[in-house]
Structure 1
Amino acid sequence: MSRRLPAVAVALVLAGATQAADVYRWTDAQGRVHYADRVDPGISAAERVAAPVEAAAVARLRVEPDADGAAAWVDNLLAGPIEVMLLAEGRGAVLSEPALPARASVPPHSGALLARIRGGNPRLSVIAVPGSPNARPRDVEYAWPLPSSPLRVQQAWGGAYSHGDAENRHAVDFAAPVGTPVVAARDGVVMQAESGFDEAAAGEDEATLLTRANFIRVLHDDGTMALYAHLQAGGVLVRVGQRVHRGQAIGRSGNTGLSSAPHLHFVVHANRGMRLESVPFRMFGPHGILRFGEPPEG
């Protein structure tokens, strides 16, 4: 069974990297703050900033010095919209337009100016959440995503093991042998995918495992997103940005990430304003409409 998958990626990341990266920060003779992944010759007072990097990075922070300070941009690395929040870490006063924290939605594969830093010497970071906060879920019948496998639910809505939080309240874990074909349950665009992780190695802790699940995230035309998770290594059969159709083969199930047995974790998400929430869905299974049960309130 599955635990919650990480919904956000910390900014100051390098897209496609799979381990921690070093970002350097320094102030030049004019008092302007610079960020870069390397230090130019002659710079002796650069501070090394540890930047957590995930294979499926969502956003990248870009700080560009200008005549009055610096402009903080956030680049969306996904093939779908994201919502971002720019924060200043530390206790020093920060002068910015607008005041921090600043929040915005960023279209696919584009950048947005979040703030202009006019004073102070802040360390900046970004939180990014997939999807648009304007998503309006429609009542749609989803297809059974494992047509070649018998129906066996390991954990349904509100499951006590790991489906108790808002992000997974309406998630379902379908038992399936590793390598079982996974098809799209609904038309959409592949906005994010990861296929480079192997099954968990002995001794890996929970925090590490949370970031090592292979998955596909498909954006629907009402702004919701379907997540197909714990796919096998190399188990993504589609490319980011590709439009897929209901019933089309998109991947192969597996047992990667924080998973106790081979299965497909399926959930429909909506961005509810800097947080992902699962939404209930109707699905037509091998013998008719599936009943997952309503989780208890609270």
Structure 2
Amino acid sequence: MKIQLLILSAFIACFANAQLSDQEIYDAKGGRIYNDTSYIYWLPFMPGERFLLVQAANSHMSHRNELSLDFKMKKGSKVCAARDGIVTEVKKDSDKGGLKDEYLSEGNHIFIRHNDGSMAQYWHLDKDGACVNVGDNVKKGQLIGLSGNTGYTAFPHLHFQVKNKEGKQILTRFLTRRGIIYLRPAKWYKCLHERQ
């Protein structure tokens, strides 16, 4: 299991660069940013469920210079929208996954555009694991898919990231039992919200 975590950490593909310094990310994760007006997301899974965050923003393994999150999830775990929006892209036909370059384009995913132009991306979903279609309006907390192990990945997990309207990755704050925070790796997070 430890070897799989190390492999995942070392090899998950990165598609965008972070726009914040190491110090800014460190301050955000440490709770030293005040007067933050960024959107407060819900954790992207079912109420009462808890999952281990194996990588967070700018983790020193495969998320270096990325502002994305990896939740370790068993294949078939329910994935929920972290924010209201419109589904703009769905890929659900792949059953391929592993640590080969040929799998980079095989990751099943769902993209949801928000009212401010930002877009949440949910990656590595199971084959036929999308529960929504392009054009669907979704509410935060709504079931949108099932986690999997497709694309460039070492084991089943959900890769979550948000990009602003310019396509740059942004940090995301979440409602947790510890309050409104930026998530930290190697910690378990439990979803508190009620489905809408």
Q: Which residue of 1 aligns with 2:14?
A: 4
Q: Is residue 151–residue 286 contact of structure 1 (8 Å, CA) maintained in 2?
A: no
Separation in 1, partners of 2:140, 2:71: 18
**In structure 2, what is the equivalent of residue 280 of structure 1?**
171
Structure number having the greater helix percentage: 2
Closer/same/farther in 2, CA of residues 229 and 173 from structure 1, 3 Å limit: same
Q: Describe how 1:222-237 pairs up with structure 2 within 5 A.
A: 222-237=116-131
1:292 aligns with 2:183: yes
CA RMSD of aligned residues (A): 2.2
Amino acid at match of 1:282: R
Task: Identify if the C-alpha distance between structure 1 residues 260 and 281 changes in structure 2 by more than 3 Å, giving closer, same or farther.
Answer: same
Aligned to 2:115: 221
Deviates more, 1:145-154 or 1:184-193: 145-154
- 1:265 to 1:156, Cα distance in 2 relative to 1, 3 A: same
Give the Å deviation of 1:236: 0.4
Q: Is the 8 A contact 1:5 1:211 kept in 2?
A: no
Native 8 Å contact 2:94 2:127 kept in 1: yes
TM-score, length-scaled by structure 2: 0.72
Contact 1:229 1:266 in 2 (8 A): yes
Q: How far does the alpha carbon of each residue in 1:144-181 deviate from its partner, in whole angstroms, 9 at most, with x for none?
A: 1112532311111102222223xxx2100011101000
Contact 2:174 / 2:183 at 8 angstroms: preserved in 1?
A: no
Quote the residue 2:135 is aligned against. Answer: 241
Contact 1:4 1:210 in 2 (8 A): no
Gaps of 5+ in 1: 7-137, 294-298
Mapped pair 1:196 → 2:93: yes
Structure 1: distance between partners of 2:89 and 2:109: 8
Alpha-carbon distance in 2 for matches of 1:285, 1:182: 17
Shift of 1:284: 1.3
- The structure 2 residue matched to 1:262, chosen from 156, 170, 174, is 156
Larger radius of gyration: 1
**What is the rounded CA distance, in whole Å, between the counterparts of 2:75 and 2:38 in structure 1?**
31
RCO higher in structure (CA 8 A, sep ≥6) = 2
Percent identity of equivalent pairs: 33
The TM-score with structure 1 as length reference comes to: 0.48
Runs of at least 5 residues in structure 2 that lack an aligned partner in the other structure: 1-7, 17-36, 185-196
Report runs of 4+ in structure 1 exceeding 2 Å deviation: 285-293
- 1:140 and 2:35 aligned: no
Higher fraction of strand? 1
Q: Matches of 2:177 and 2:159 in 1, distance apart?
A: 18
Count, aligned residues: 154
Tell me the equivalent position of 1:178: 75
1:285, CA displacement in angstroms? 3.1
